[in-house]
A and B are shown apart, each in its own frame.
Chain A
Amino acid sequence: MLFGGVFSLMAVGLTLIFGVMRVVNFAHGDMMVWGMYLAWLMATRGGVDPYLGFVVCAAALFVLGFVVQRVLVQRIVDAPHEMQILLMLGVALVLENLALLLFGPEPQRVRSALAQSTVWLGPVFVDVARLIAFAVAVLLTLLLSLFLYRTDVGRSIRAAADNPYGALVIGTDVRRVYAVAFGVGAACVGAAGALVAPLLPFQPPMGLQLSVASFNIVIIGGMGSLLGAFVGGLIVAVAESLGAVFLKPSLKELVSFSLLVLILLFRPAGIFGRRAS
């Protein structure tokens, strides 16, 4: 359940990018893995706790997302979907294997002083680290929605998402807005990566799994809907942990994918999605 916050945060990043640009970010999970490794680098080299370091990770991933959008994605925003997917697959391959080259294939884990302590929360016994990860993830999601609904940049992002042409006409620099949106989406997943880094061991090939998990959540919640991504993340996390308890741990992904198939069959737009235009 407490993983749900982090799941939500990474799905929120993906849905933001998709909602604004209609580009599916296949490199999403790999960006998350980079967030984890940055947290790991800071923790091992500088002794920075990941629960402080996540800010730096988010900033670094913002820059990465901004650049990827400016240099690559901008050229193919209007291209057919399969070309976009292939491009993003290329980006994913590069990111994943660069991580493999630089950090090696061994699973890593970040040590945080907080990860060892636990508290009694009413009748349940909870890791402090998970609790913090959950709280920070929820906080970041709230901040993001404040950013989108209360600031000028956020408003222009939503304008460009709604109608890029109209936004262009009234003088919005749509390219810049796209780059910022991509950057913010990447920052979300980078922060999510840093937040889970102390909780589970990670290695470069995890990126794809995480990408797929994010798509799954976003589709269940409804493509392009922030609330959907948030609730979807919680639902998937709960479903997976129930599956792990009642079936087999190795079957937990089966549960979330079955959920995905059911949602696609009975409510193709997702729980909070509007009908696709």
Chain B
Amino acid sequence: MRRVAIAAAVALLAMLPLVPSVFGSYAVTLFTLIFFYGFLGQAWNIVGGYAGQLSAGHAAFLGIGAYTAALLSVERGVTPWLGMCRIIVSNTEALGGAVGYYITFTGDPRQFQFQDARAYYYVALVMMLAVTGIVAWLERRRFGVYLSAIREDESACEALGVNTFRYKMLAMMLSSFLTGIGGAFYAFYLFSLQPASVFGIPLSVEIIIRAIVGGAGTVLGPILGSFILSPLAELARYYFAQGGWHGAHLVVYGLLLIAVVLFLPEGAYPRLARLFRR
């Protein structure tokens, strides 16, 4: 049973690169969002899932990343590809002001602007796979074990001689660095930035809820969470907005969050994994 599940997952994964050539542009957008939020959820997972340190402010890192990349690109002409790597160093996000920032479209791939939505699709896919690879790798390393130990019992961990502060900080740095990269992607995918949208708590909730619903502290949890929630969110937003019911999809989100905390606190992935192991 377990092997079947793994084979199915691998097969699904192998099909992902083919999606843009088979389905229409709406599916491409949808999957790009799934990958993007999967990426963010996974980045949060390092500090929130493994180390058990709840961060409700991850949108801030996203915002910093987004603004830095946008500013560097708009003001200085530095390519976001480069900006993606330098986010942690330069956080000059305060300059945009409350009005926000608009990026002029040039369609130059060297400037991380693609005319074809499919390019974003592949970038998002690679980002998600890469961060999942990092997390899977970390989980088996001493670093990952330390983080789980900190989550389970911080004082016992410290008593055994682990520098818990150091590892929590490293986890936070790694997680925020990755989220910053996500921010750069966000800026150049949407082409506009407003502080309220990239720094707000709602975005943090969007990130956290994916990891929690899928299963925080597992390698595949946040990805699964994103595959469940992102399409749901998009469809709900679309249909509710059509009926003039703005905000209804967030009501659904809130109810879902409450239900998951009360009835499925470990998340969907561990539950599914146990189902298949039997």
Q: How far is the CA of A168 from the CA of B251 in the complex (A)?
A: 36
- A59 → chain B, closest Cβ, in Å? 24
- B202 → chain A, closest Cβ, in Å? 8
Q: Of A75, A94, A250, which is within 8 A of B251 by CB?
A: A94
Q: Check: B215 CB closer than 8 A to any chain A CB.
A: no
- A192 → chain B, closest Cβ, in Å? 21
Is A105 a contact of B54 with CB atoms below 8 Å? no
Closest to B245 in A: A101
Highest count of chain B CB atoms <10 Å: which of A79, A85, A87, A208: A87
A86-B257, A87-B262 given as contacts; is B247 within 8 A of A204 (CB)?
Answer: yes
A76-B261, A250-B98 given as contacts; is B205 within 8 A of A89 (CB)?
Answer: yes
Q: Check: B258 CB closer than 8 A to any chain A CB.
A: yes
Closest to A90 in B: B257
- A36 → chain B, closest Cβ, in Å? 17
Q: Check: A92 CB closer than 8 A to any chain B CB.
A: yes
Chain B residues whose CB sits within 8 angstroms of the CB of A152 once the complex forms: none
Is A97 a contact of B247 with CB atoms below 8 Å? yes
- B222 → chain A, closest Cβ, in Å? 15
Q: How far is the CA of A105 from the CA of B98 in the complex (A)?
A: 19
Is A72 a contact of B250 with CB atoms below 8 Å? no
Chain A residues whose CB sits within 8 angstroms of the CB of B256 once the complex forms: 90
Q: Check: A113 CB closer than 8 A to any chain B CB.
A: no
Q: How far is the CA of A89 from the CA of B250 in the complex (A)?
A: 11
Q: Check: A96 CB closer than 8 A to any chain B CB.
A: yes
Q: Check: A139 CB closer than 8 A to any chain B CB.
A: no
Q: Which of B235-270 contact A (CB under 8 A)?
A: 245-248, 250-251, 253-258, 261-262, 265
Q: Check: A98 CB closer than 8 A to any chain B CB.
A: yes
Is B258 a contact of A72 with CB atoms below 8 Å? yes
Chain B residues whose CB sits within 8 angstroms of the CB of A146 once the complex forms: none
Is B246 a contact of A100 with CB atoms below 8 Å? yes
Chain B residues whose CB sits within 8 angstroms of the CB of A250 once the complex forms: 98
Chain B residues whose CB sits within 8 angstroms of the CB of A96 once the complex forms: 247, 250
Q: Of B54, B251, B261, which is within 8 A of A97 by CB?
A: B251
Contact with B along A81-109 (1 / 0, CB 8 A): 11101110111111111101100010000
Q: Check: B228 CB closer than 8 A to any chain A CB.
A: no
Is A85 a contact of B56 with CB atoms below 8 Å? yes
Q: Count of chain B residues with Cβ under 8 Å from any Cβ of A?
A: 24
Chain B residues whose CB sits within 8 angstroms of the CB of A75 once the complex forms: 262
Q: Of B212, B257, B261, which is within 8 A of A93 by CB?
A: B257
Is B54 a contact of A81 with CB atoms below 8 Å? yes
Q: Which of B193-244 contact A (CB under 8 A)?
A: 201, 205, 208, 212
- A73 → chain B, closest Cβ, in Å? 10
Chain B residues whose CB sits within 8 angstroms of the CB of A90 once the complex forms: 253-258, 261
Q: How far is the CA of A76 from the CA of B263 in the complex (A)?
A: 11
Q: Check: B52 CB closer than 8 A to any chain A CB.
A: yes
Chain A residues whose CB sits within 8 angstroms of the CB of B251 once the complex forms: 93-94, 97-98, 101
Closest to A82 in B: B54
Closest to B54 in A: A82
Is B212 a contact of A86 with CB atoms below 8 Å? yes
A82-B54, A100-B246, A208-B201 given as contacts; is B254 within 8 A of A92 (CB)?
Answer: yes
Q: How far is the CA of A58 from the CA of B108 in the complex (A)?
A: 58
Q: Of A79, A83, A94, A208, which is within 8 A of B254 by CB?
A: A94
Highest count of chain B CB atoms <10 Å: which of A82, A85, A93, A96: A93
- A136 → chain B, closest Cβ, in Å? 30
Q: How far is the CA of A81 from the CA of B205 in the complex (A)?
A: 16
Is B250 a contact of A97 with CB atoms below 8 Å? yes
Is A91 a contact of B265 with CB atoms below 8 Å? no
Chain A residues whose CB sits within 8 angstroms of the CB of B262 once the complex forms: 72, 75-76, 87
- B173 → chain A, closest Cβ, in Å? 20
Chain A residues whose CB sits within 8 angstroms of the CB of B212 once the complex forms: 86
Closest to B261 in A: A87
Chain A residues whose CB sits within 8 angstroms of the CB of B201 once the complex forms: 208
- B229 → chain A, closest Cβ, in Å? 13
Chain A residues whose CB sits within 8 angstroms of the CB of B48 once the complex forms: 82
Q: How far is the CA of A87 from the CA of B261 in the complex (A)?
A: 6
A83-B265, A85-B56, A208-B201 given as contacts; is B258 within 8 A of A97 (CB)?
Answer: no
Chain A residues whose CB sits within 8 angstroms of the CB of B258 once the complex forms: 72, 87, 90-91, 94
Q: How far is the CA of A14 from the CA of B257 in the complex (A)?
A: 22
Contact with B along A105-134 (1 / 0, CB 8 A): 100000000000000000000000000000
8 inter-chain pairs at a CB distance below 8 angstroms, sorted by A residue, are: A79-B261, A82-B52, A82-B54, A83-B265, A91-B258, A93-B254, A100-B247, A101-B251
Known: A86-B257, A101-B247. 18 other contacts (CB 8 A): A82-B48, A82-B52, A85-B56, A86-B208, A87-B262, A89-B205, A90-B253, A90-B254, A90-B261, A92-B254, A93-B250, A94-B254, A96-B247, A97-B250, A98-B247, A101-B246, A101-B248, A250-B98
